[in-house]
A = this chain, B = another copy of it.
Amino acid sequence: MAQLCTSEDPDMFRSLLSRIGDKWTLLVIGVLGEERRRFTELTEIIPGISRRMLTVTVRALERDGLVSRTVYAEVPPRVEYELTALGRSLQLVALTLADWVSEHQHTIVGNRRSFDSDAREP
């Protein structure tokens, strides 16, 4: 319902929205949606992410129960992350979002271009 956006608890709504809307979360979910990965793999697959931000992101996802973290008592250490059932359900939503973006991104880029050029010359 659109009401969700306005009434009820906009804080909670926004809190979850900013979680998935932050810089890295959806990328991590997208990658983990394919298969479980270990820490260093993620840093290599996701372009530009730092170890710190990967740690922060993956901790937040674990806290929300979207990702599970498994530590193997080996040497060298190995830690694997994978989507939980809840995480996979979010991934489905994320994919519809990604579809929308891929379908309309060219339109939007064009809109921005014409808006910006209109603004310069009256």
Interface residues of A (CB under 8 A from B): 1-6, 9-10, 12-14, 16-18, 20-23, 26-27, 29-31, 33-34, 45-48, 62-65, 86, 89-91, 93-102, 104-105, 107-109, 111-112, 115-116
Contacts and interface: CB of A to CB of B under 8 A. Distances in A.
Contacts of A22: 21
A109 B12 CA distance: 9
Contacts of A20: 21
A86 B98 contact: no
Contacts of A18: 21, 23
A102 to B, nearest CB: 5
A6 B64 contact: no
